Amino acid sequence: MNRRVVITGIGALTPIGSGKEGLWDGVRRGEPAGQKITRFDPSPFRSQIAAQIDDFEPSDYLNARQARRLDRFSQLSLAASQQAYEDAGLSASSNGCHSTAVYLGSALGGIAFGEEEHKKYVDKGLDAVAPSLALAVFGGAGATNVAMEFGIKGPAIGNSNSCASGAIAIGEAFRLIKQGGADVALAGGSEAPLAPLTFGAFSLIRAMSKRNDDPRHASRPFDSERDGFVMAEGSAVVILEELEHALARGARPYAEILGYGTTNDAYHMTAPLPSGEEAARSMTLALEEAGVQPAEVGYLNAHATSTPLGDAAEALAIEIAFGDHVEKLPVSGTKGLYGHALGASGAIEVAITTLSIDRGWIPPTVNLFTPDPDCQLEQLAATGGDAEVHVAVTNAFGFGGINASLVLGRVSP
């Protein structure tokens, strides 16, 4: 089967805003969310900044029992899914629980909650540990909690493909619907990594920015003075739906998913393949499945974490994949706004790219003060602007050399 798959609902909890409109308002506002960490004492660490969600109230989305039982990772998964469900105008009875799937990605799952409970264990023994610990730390907890919440009895898959997890979840759910395995899917990513040891592990490998005196400008994709990413928390879920199923119930699609590609560098756990060829191939595979020529792409939302090696390798990969069209291709990296929410980032960026297509506006690369000469992208957008985007690409790359790319487009008749 070769069915068309559209996005009919968007949910998001991010450091710049929550819900579809809150996220988009944050993108349009253009104010970076980086700040000194307040969740714990960051003074022992080289990096002391993050992008936190400070306005999330679990009770706005969960009943009292759920709020007590679930850790932050699962809470964010459920809240974003609820937003997406409502935005799409869906209910369990309206879409059929057996023909609906849940695909959620997370690099770390409930590991931060496990860290908190381990401290209780060391200080006070096993009786002090939350009984829900064993059910919270595994990577599939987000997907299965969402499935139970909405009575979804189709596939419920949680993946842990590092910082590409959210994009891969959406790509695999797209394939499932395209091939007839489901009519509807909740797909995206969730991450809640802000705990001392979890955060410190990334500081230890020098992956994060140490611009502690200027946290708002620490995440600076493609800038010549970038020195690492700003860790963030967040969640984004989109409703994917077979086109005819969506139209039959009167849904309004925001965009269509046209293609998906994923490859592996097979090179290094943290460093990207310097040649960029496998990241380029993930884009090319996605374009081929979409039946789209590089010259037809009107916007590219880059992974662009603000790491010295990563941004340069991605810029090279974009040049390889798009050839001469790279001179006309608008590119931006939006992590300067909300930092890097690891496995949730790809899903957040699918949501942003979808809204860019739907609303005709390309977001800027915030904190791009001096473009790096090693990132030779002619149309690297330092400011946002109106644009009629018919086809867009979004990338997500992760530790272990995992590459994922998605092609999105306007919904044509």
Catalytic residue among 163, 217, 245, 375: 163
Q: How confident is the model at residue 381 (pLDDT cuts 50, 70, 90)?
A: confident
> How many CB atoms within 10 Å of residue 353?
25
pLDDT tens sequence across 333-372 = 999 999 999 999 999 999 999 999 999 999 999 999 999 9
Q: Is 217 a catalytic residue?
A: no
Specify whether the backbone of 94 is left (phi greater than 0), alpha (psi in -120 to 50) or beta: alpha
Q: How confident is the model at residue 171 (pLDDT cuts 50, 70, 90)?
A: very high
Q: Which CATH number fits domain 5-248: 3.40.50.300, 3.40.47.10, 1.10.3720.10, 3.40.640.10?
A: 3.40.47.10
Average pLDDT estimate for 159-185 = 97
- Burial class of residue 73, CB neighbours in 10 A (0-12, 13-18, 19+): buried
Average pLDDT estimate for 215-223 = 97
**What pLDDT score does 94 carry?**
57
- Burial class of residue 186, CB neighbours in 10 A (0-12, 13-18, 19+): buried
Domain 259-408 class in CATH: alpha beta
Locate the DSSP E strands across 292-413: 299-301, 331-332, 361-362, 385-386, 391-398, 402-409
Is pLDDT of 93 > 80? Answer: no
Is pLDDT of 112 > 90? Answer: yes
**DSSP 3-state percent helix, strand, coil across the chain (nearest 5):** 40, 20, 40
Q: What is the mean pLDDT of the chain?
A: 95
Q: Which amino acid is at 113?
A: F
Domain boundaries, the chain: 5-248, 259-408
pLDDT tens sequence across 19-54 = 999 999 999 999 999 999 999 999 999 999 999 999
**What pLDDT score does 292 carry?**
97
Catalytic residue among 217, 245, 303, 375: 303
**What pLDDT score does 98 carry?**
87
**What pLDDT score does 384 carry?**
84
Is pLDDT of 159 > 70? Answer: yes
**What pLDDT score does 22 carry?**
98
Prediction pTM value: 0.97
Is pLDDT of 92 > 70? Answer: no
Please state the φ and ψ torsions of residue 82, each to the nearest 5 degrees. -60, -45
Q: How confident is the model at residue 95 (pLDDT cuts 50, 70, 90)?
A: low
5-248 and 259-408 share one CATH topology? yes
Q: How confident is the model at residue 413 (pLDDT cuts 50, 70, 90)?
A: confident
Q: Is 390 a catalytic residue?
A: no
Q: Is 325 a catalytic residue?
A: no
Is pLDDT of 122 > 80? Answer: yes
**What pLDDT score does 41 carry?**
96
pLDDT tens sequence across 295-336 = 999 999 999 999 999 999 999 999 999 999 999 999 999 999
Q: Per the structure block, which two tokens stand in for 84? A: 């997406």
Q: Are 408 and 256 in contact (CB under 8 A)?
A: yes
Average pLDDT estimate for 276-298 = 98
pLDDT tens sequence across 181-216 = 999 999 999 999 999 999 999 999 999 999 999 999
Catalytic residue among 217, 245, 340, 375: 340
Average pLDDT estimate for 287-291 = 98
Average pLDDT estimate for 123-141 = 93
**What pLDDT score does 275 carry?**
94
**What pLDDT score does 20 carry?**
98
Please state the φ and ψ torsions of residue 218, each to the nearest 5 degrees. -80, -40
